Amino acid sequence: MSVHTCDGRYHFKNGKVWKAPTEKIQSDGRRSLSIGFSVCRIEEHVSGDAGPRIAAALNHVEFGDPLPKEPST
């Protein structure tokens, strides 16, 4: 079982790319929480690594995470 934190990052699970929930703590100590949601579904005819690669690309754009290396051919 994988556990995702409330950091708003993207991940791939069960054929879908998901955006994790986010939790923000205000300066006065109040907390706000946004729910996670499905971003897209990966169809069977698409390459097997498409879901994780899409999640990685979205994390790269939104959070500056490094992109995974392209596989050698």
At 1 the pLDDT is 43
Q: Is residue 2 part of a domain?
A: no
For the chain, the domain total comes to 1
* Residue 18: both structure tokens together: 């998901």
Dist CA 68 CA 57 (whole Å): 9
Residue 58 lies in a domain: yes
The strand pairing partners of 19, in sequence order, are: 10, 37
The answer to the question of residue 36 being in a domain is: yes
Q: Is residue 37 part of a domain?
A: yes
Sheet holding 37-41, edge to edge: 10-13, 16-19, 37-41
- Whether 42 is in a domain gets the answer yes
Write the pLDDT tens digit of every residue in 35-52.
999 999 999 888 888 999
Positions of the chain with pLDDT lower than 50, given as ranges: 1
Residue 18 included in any domain: yes
> Which two three-digit tokens encode residue 38?
């499905």
